[in-house]
Amino acid sequence: MSAPAVRPTEQIIEKFGVSRRYTFLLVGLGIAFLIATSIVLVINGQILKFSDSLGLLGRPVTVFLTLIPIVLGLYLIGRGIYVRLAYEYYLTNQRVMERVGFLAQRTVAADYKTVTDLVVRQDVIGRFLLNTGTLAINTAGGPKEEVILVHIDSPDERREQLRELARSVHSGRRITSALVHSLSPEANPKIDTEVPVAELGSDLGAAGANDTDNSGSTVPVADLELGSAQKSETGDEPEPSQIQVPSNQVGVVDQIEDLHGDGIDESDKVRHAQKKIE
């Protein structure tokens, strides 16, 4: 099929469709049903003889039960070929487009700047076996999902690609072919949403420099066990309660009983302060 009509300033950058893995699964299951039915009919030639013994309805029921896997197999093969050929998706420098059909075609598009919701739906086979799924796109002001990309490869990575394109448009960044391809699932087979260890280390170092723990509360400098060299580099003066009084100086102060002549035992005050520090 030819490319859909676009705006005068619009350029189609990427084209994709239904996953090949999903197509091969449908066609493979269809062929398996046909082969299994043929084997049963060839090996078990006694089925028709057994059906005759059931009376008038025996043969029609047997034929009907035999036709079920044949029809199912043909349907799966036809469905696989149809979805592969009839579903086409396009990414331009302005919007995402969906076109479905052969003779009668339906085209739906959503501008990046109007995208509000991106929903990924995966069944068990698509999630754990094929890595395929459906990506539904909703826009501002729309009551339902306007564009639905069914059975595509790497739906999570495709969602992140569209999300980044929408962010780029909102931030005033120009959408180019290089940007679209750099965000594609092929260029980013697995988008890591976890924070790199190096960044975590730098964050922890910044937290130590700011004397804060993970909860955001202030941590005493003494608890961080900063060395004297690190303290001198920061230029911060230690709190009075954190000053370590040398033992030789403490001994001299302890010999003074009444420093100010006010009747207060100064040596007891010093001992009390020293106990708090220790």
- In terms of domains, do 73 and 161 share one? yes
Closest CA to 108 of 154, 139, 64, 63: 139
Domain tally for the chain?
3
- The pTM assigned to this predicted structure is 0.63
> 258 is in which domain, residue-wise?
244-277
Distance of CA 43 to the CA centre of its chain: 50
The pLDDT tens digits of the residues spanning 111-140 come to 999 999 999 999 999 999 999 999 999 998
Distance of CA 136 to the CA centre of its chain: 15
* pLDDT value for 161: 96
Burial 218-232 (b: 16+ CB within 10 A, else e): eeebeeeebeeeeee
- In terms of domains, do 233 and 249 share one? no
- In terms of domains, do 111 and 210 share one? no
* pLDDT value for 44: 61
Q: Which parts of the chain sit beneath pLDDT 50?
A: 191-235, 237-256
H or E stretch including 222?
A: helix 221-224
- In terms of domains, do 65 and 164 share one? yes
Tokens 């005050």 sit on residue: 269
- In terms of domains, do 116 and 58 share one? yes
* pLDDT value for 38: 82
What's the one-letter identity of residue 103?
L
Q: Which two tokens stand for residue 30?
A: 């269809």
- In terms of domains, do 164 and 87 share one? yes
Average pLDDT, the chain: 75
- In terms of domains, do 168 and 34 share one? yes
* pLDDT value for 39: 81
Residue 82, in any domain of the structure = yes
